[in-house]
Amino acid sequence: MLKVSVIMGSTSDLDVMSAAFDTLEQFGVEYEKRVISAHRAPDLLAEFAKGAEGRGVGAIIAGAGGAAHLAGVTAAFTTLPVIGVPINGKAFGGMDALLATVQMPSGIPVATVAVNGAKNAALLAIEMLALGEPALAAKLKDFRREQTEKIKNTTI
Ligand code: RP5
């Protein structure tokens, strides 16, 4: 099965991005994880993104805050699907990262999830991988069913 690559701009993003690890583990999806900054280590990012396909990666999740160019620059170096997670930094409530991640130029797409939406980023990556993996698709359907049941059985 293809794996998922999870990258983030700083170790300060780990708290938010760990939700992606949890979800990928829940579904038994293999992943690699790395701190890479588009600004502080652009050469490393280029090398990492260019090599992703060869490492058996099927989707890349990139989380960053502030002037969040990590997802966009990654997408510039690969045709693998890239999912951006804007991270809520100290200023602007994450609006800065949201706009920097979502407002990609035509021709280089990034699928942007909600601010701090690392869990949904992982689910989206799993949905992509599941297109070629019926067993994984079945797990997603079970997950949705259980989620619905939980809501229906919730009383307050
Ligand atoms: C971004 O700047 C990172 O993704 C992080 O969200 C933010 C702050 O980074 P640190 O100053 O905590 O390393 O590049």
The one-letter amino acid code at 117 reads G
Q: Tokens for 83?
A: 């999912």
| pLDDT of the residue at 24 | 98
Q: Does any ligand 1 atom lie closer than 6 A to the CB of residue 12?
A: yes
| pLDDT of the residue at 90 | 85
The tokens 């989206």 sit on which residue? 124
Q: How far away, in angstroms, is 75 Cα from ligand 1 center?
A: 19
Query: Are 31 and 3 spatial neighbours (Cβ–Cβ below 8 Å)?
Result: yes
E strands in the chain = 3-8, 31-35, 57-65, 82-87, 111-112
| pLDDT of the residue at 6 | 98
Query: Residue 77: pLDDT band by 50, 70, 90 thresholds?
Result: very high
Taking only the tens place, the pLDDT of each residue in 104-137 is 999 999 999 999 999 999 999 999 999 999 999 9
Q: How far is CA 61 from CA 16, 33, 102, 138, in A?
A: 12, 9, 14, 22
Helix (H/G/I), strand (E/B), else coil: 112 = strand
* Other residues' Cβ atoms within 10 Å of the Cβ of residue 46: 17
Q: Residue 120, exposed/middle/buried by CB under 10 A (0-12, 13-18, 19+)?
A: middle
Q: Does any ligand 1 atom lie closer than 6 A to the CB of residue 122?
A: no
Q: How far is Cα 124 from Cα 144, in angstroms, rounded to an integer?
A: 13
Q: How far away, in angstroms, is 10 Cα from ligand 1 center?
A: 5
